[in-house]
């Protein structure tokens, strides 16, 4: 798997909206996120169609494809950052010029619905993409340092590094109220002990499963999976989606599960009940309540990269990214 060129100070980041439009953000939020990225030393530009918003708060397939292709074709652009998630990113997959992207590999970063786009590009073009902050994520004030630290390590660094738990996490509506937030102490937890090294694939579970049976689904057999889900999941749907993914994998080497949002009603008892159904998960390293997904803060992970997991030590090392 090829690694796109790392970001450097002064590089241009292009913001595009392959799911929801940038119109979902406030003008103040856009300026705050842009300023934070500029303070890190980057130039920020926007796709021409990011502000178009239709009945489903998105734009046409043609407009989203245009922005994606222009971002990868523009030699001044060194990374592509998505505005936010949504529900329709997978609509784009048959219309992407994968040859264009393959000839111009560069960083693509986002999460949630962008799972479909990132995994499809890694699969078809054979270069690493990234599950990490959206452009909109840089609006957040509290817990931003942890999130930004791993964004920089993954997208600018070259040497392997270990990921450590955040000190605190939050599942509040920070985008509505930055001042009155509720924080809880972080604890990464072990379901089964073990140690392994392997290729990493995953992202938002229900979105990744949309790719099954298509040419855009990665070969996840013998990989390490990372999965998370949002407020729309519950124990029953998570169990069904996990079973489907494990059946598609035909054997995996490790599993990382992102922290669940509170509204999902996923208790530790429910999670163990679900995981206990799958004998293979007792013989590989499995960690849960990890810092990625729809709670804050979130690390950046390389889709198609290589990681090392030592679950009983709660150790995750990013090796090739």
Place of tokens 């992407």: 96
Tokens 């990665």, residue?
A: 218
* Residue from 19, 58, 112, 136 carrying the catalytic annotation: 112
C-alpha span between 181 and 278 (Å, rounded):
37
Q: Phi/psi of residue 169, each to 5°?
A: -140, 170
What is the Cα–Cα distance from 125 to 65, expressed in whole angstroms? 16
CB atoms under 10 Å from CB of 103, counted, come to: 11
Pairwise CA distance, residues 286 & 193, whole Å? 7
161-163, strands of its sheet edge to edge: 161-163, 315-320, 306-310, 195-204, 224-228, 254-258, 286-290, 189-192
Rounded distance between C-alpha atoms, residue 268 and residue 291, angstroms? 16
For 176-214, give the DSSP string. Answer: T-SSS---EE---EEEE--EEEEEEEEEEHHHHGGGTTS
Q: How far is CA 288 from the centre of its chain?
A: 16
Catalytic: which of 69, 223, 228, 308?
228
User: Distance (Å, rounded) from C-alpha 105 to C-alpha 165?
Assistant: 31
Query: Is 311 a residue of the active site?
Result: no
Catalytic status, residue 294: yes
Separation of alpha carbons 263 and 282, rounded Å: 27
Gyration radius of the chain over CA positions: 18
Q: Which of 69, 294, 308, 310 is catalytic?
A: 294
Residues tagged active-site? 112, 228, 294
């Amino acid at each position: 798997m090829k690694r796109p060129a790392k970001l450097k100070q002064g590089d241009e980041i292009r913001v595009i909206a392959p799911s929801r439009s940038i119109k979902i953000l406030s003008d103040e939020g856009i300026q705050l996120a842009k300023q934070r990225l500029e303070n890190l030393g980057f130039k920020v530009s926007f796709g021409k169609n990011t502000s178009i918003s239709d009945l489903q708060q998105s734009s046409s397939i043609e407009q989203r494809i245009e922005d994606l292709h222009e971002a990868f074709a523009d030699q001044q652009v060194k990374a592509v950052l998505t505005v936010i998630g949504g529900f329709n990113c997978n609509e784009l997959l048959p219309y992407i010029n994968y040859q264009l992207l393959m000839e111009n590999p560069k960083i693509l970063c986002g999460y949630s619905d962008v799972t479909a786009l990132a995994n499809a590009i890694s699969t078809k073009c054979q270069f690493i993409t990234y599950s990490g902050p959206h452009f909109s994520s840089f609006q957040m004030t509290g817990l931003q340092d942890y999130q930004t630290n791993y964004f920089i390590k993954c997208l600018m660094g070259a040497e392997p590094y270990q990921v450590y738990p955040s000190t605190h996490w939050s599942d509040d509506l920070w985008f509505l109220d930055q001042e009155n937030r509720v924080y809880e102490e972080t604890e990464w937890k072990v379901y089964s002990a073990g140690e392994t090294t392997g290729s990493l694939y995953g992202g938002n579970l229900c979105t990744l499963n949309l790719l099954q049976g298509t040419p855009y689904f990665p070969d996840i057999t013998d990989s390490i999976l990372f999965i998370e889900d949002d407020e729309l999941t519950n124990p029953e749907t998570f169990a069904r989606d996990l079973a489907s993914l494990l059946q598609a994998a035909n054997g995996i080497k490790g599993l990382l599960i992102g922290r669940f949002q509170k509204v999902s009603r996923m208790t530790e008892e429910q999670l163990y009940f679900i995981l206990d159904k799958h004998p293979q998960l007792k013989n590989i390293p499995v960690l849960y309540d990890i810092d990625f997904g729809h709670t804050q803060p979130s690390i950046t992970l390389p889709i198609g990269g290589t990681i090392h997991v030592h679950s009983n030590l709660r150790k995750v090392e990013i090796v090739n990214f």
